[in-house]
Amino acid sequence: MRAALIAATATGLATGLGAAPFLFVRELPRRVYDGVLGLGAGLMLAAATLGLLGEALAGVRGPGGLVAGRLGAVTLGFAIGAGLAALMDRLIPHRHASGHHQHIGHHPGHDHHDRVDDGAGPDAWRGYAIVGALAIHRIPEGLAIGAGFAAVEHARLGLLLAIAVGLQNACEGIVMAAPLRHGGVTIGRSTAIVTLAGLVTPLATLIGGLLTAETSALMPFILALAAGTLIYVTSNEIIPESHSHGFEGTASMGLVTGFLMTMVLKSILP
């Protein structure tokens, strides 16, 4: 558990790295921003599919054939994870790509996503809403890391998830810091807020580790739940946002790069 908490804390603190570019610039070019989002999407999709689901499904076929109970737990966990993510998307006020009329700052016929600042300007509170929403998204990531460290010997899956999520958190740190900076929040305060938001990860990791430590029967369910949540969030939030400003090619290349990075990490980790 100590290794899991150390890795998760480092992963959470990586969110603060996203504020680093704003030491030098007030806002980032849209193409760069969308490329970063695409990279994060690729990291999350690979971590969820190659890591979480791969491990959850590893025991579905045993010596006697299909293990229906494990398959049922994986299927149920995945569905519940996606459902919880959808519920959070409906209930938590935030903003992302056009077409989601229920979120903050979107009014039909008035799209404000042609620049990184997204119209934050004097409305710095919108930046805080984005930080809050993304901080809540750290919960399934932490659960995944905790379950990953408990899932296999030598904690290979947990380490893979911690690295992939850490890179993704740095990307999302940019997403959090951009509206805060454009809304007039100082770089020091922006960095502190973004970093603190990332510390939700180790708290959720502790919960995930304790749950899987209590009973190994829960492990396939928790791994699949985390995977379903991450895949839904990536599909519903990150990919649409990265592909809605005319830089789809850059965002797609970022996604492919992120996926490849996770593939390589999975192959070389002991």
User: Hunting for tokens 């180790």 — which residue is that?
Assistant: 202
Rg of the chain over all Cα atoms, to the nearest angstrom:
18
DSSP, collapsed to helix, strand or coil, labels residue 10 as helix
Amino acid at 54: G
Give this prediction's pTM. 0.74
DSSP, collapsed to helix, strand or coil, labels residue 86 as helix
Burial class of residue 195 (count of CB atoms within 10 Å of its CB; 0-12, 13-18, 19+): buried
Average of pLDDT values for 85-113? 52
Reference 87, options 133, 132, 146; nearest CA is 133
Q: Among the listed ranges 86-90, 206-210, 246-250, which one has the minimum average pLDDT value?
A: 206-210
Average of pLDDT values for 78-102? 69
pLDDT digits (tens, 9 = 90+) for 212-267: 666 666 778 888 888 898 899 888 888 888 888 889 999 999 999 999 998 998 88
Please state, in angstroms and rounded to a whole number, the distance separating the CA atoms of residues 243 and 220. Answer: 33
Average of pLDDT values for 20-31? 78
User: Hunting for tokens 């810091």 — which residue is that?
Assistant: 177
Q: In the numeric block, which tokens belong to residue 15?
A: 């969110």
Please state, in angstroms and rounded to a whole number, the distance separating the CA atoms of residues 75 and 54. Answer: 13
- Taking all residues of the chain, what is their mean pLDDT, rounded to a whole number? 76
Q: Let me know: does 229 contact 82? Beta carbons within 8 Å.
A: yes
**Domain ranges for the chain:** 2-268
Average of pLDDT values for 64-90? 87
Most confidently predicted of 158-162, 197-201, 215-219, 242-246: 242-246
